[in-house]
Structure 1
Amino acid sequence: MSSGLLLPACYLPNVSFFHAIKQNDQPIVIEQFENYPKQTFRTRTQIGTANGVLNLIVPIVHGRKERVRMNDVKINYDHPWQRLHWLSIQTAYRSSAYFEYYEDDFSAFYEKEYDLLLDYNTEQIKLILKLLKINREISYSTSYTDVEEGIDYRKAIHPRKPSPMVDPKPYYQVFEDKTGFIPNLSVIDLLFSQGPQAKNFL
């Protein structure tokens, strides 16, 4: 069994992911033994553009097995998705106040090829925690079980479910004059807009 704040390994996680971390002063436990669930934030993130929400999806290698554990999911590099994702991020956020401040930190994830999705996502989470100045112990689950003590967010943070963040604090977004404020995008939307003050909006 695991204790702490149990979270899925999401790709460039959304604001509510880090809201949960900030509001719950517990060690972070990243789930690694779940069967990989399709069409979730494990391989998907959402950014704000002039046309509204844009989904960026990391392709994975589909093996013969129907069920694959999260810690065995491999990233597929047959197509240049890294270049396309980074181009989309640049296009959306180049004019943000703090894009250049964090640009080098995030561009590295679109240059290096990670074998496993779990490693790729976890390294992003660690970086973002550092940028948000949230000092929290982080580890992997030791088995797939119920939470003995703590909070389980493994299924709560999902594209088809309401955000667990009850009352999101609005902040300036690049395309807000066209789209209105869009809550719960990838946390990079908040970081590129608010920089060192981003933590105050969680």
Structure 2
Amino acid sequence: MLGLSVTTLVGYLAVIAVLMITPGPDMMFVLTNATRYGARSGVIAALGVAAGETIHVAAVVCGLAAVITASPVLFTAIRWAGAVYLVILGIRAVRLSGTANHSHPERGATPRQAFLRGLVTNLLNPKMIMFSVAFLPQFVDPAAGDPTAQLILLGALFVAVQLTVDVTLGAGVGRLAHRMTDGLWSRRINRLCAFAFVALGVRLALG
């Protein structure tokens, strides 16, 4: 497989599998959508996140990600935009927590909204940019073949693992939320997600 050893690929998959199950903005967004609107919205949100990751990988392959990280002004602007966006998501979750129609969890978010918000959440995460620049190239072996092809392969595996984890969580949590229609439970979950979004946003702003 492009000359990459089995050991390298297994090690790479093991590392990203651990990283994917660590809670972050993307996972919180998928879980929030699944909890509030149901499995379908959670899965579509996961697809939006995966689309954002695909763009990050493409940026690494094209060298654009390195340009962004090398520009303090541009990187800081993206960091603050991401922080503000996460706080807005948190405030929105608090405002909507008291107005949810819990007997119909699939209502309220169109597929387009879920996808686009997942995409933006991922794109405005500067840590994803840094991660892509610093992490993917470490597993490229110049002696194993075309470095660009290796980056594409590694990036595709990264997106595939993330998508698998997020879709599984989104579908599972969405189905669970559909069965647990108690309004108090749903409001508590929404408020917990809101707190997580705001906390993540503040942490991102503080660097």
Normalising by the residue count of structure 1, what TM-score does the alignment of the two structures yield? 0.29
Higher relative contact order (CA 8 A, sep 6+): 2
Whichever of the two has the greater Rg, that structure is 2
TM-score by length of 2: 0.28
Which is helix-richer, 1 or 2?
Answer: 2
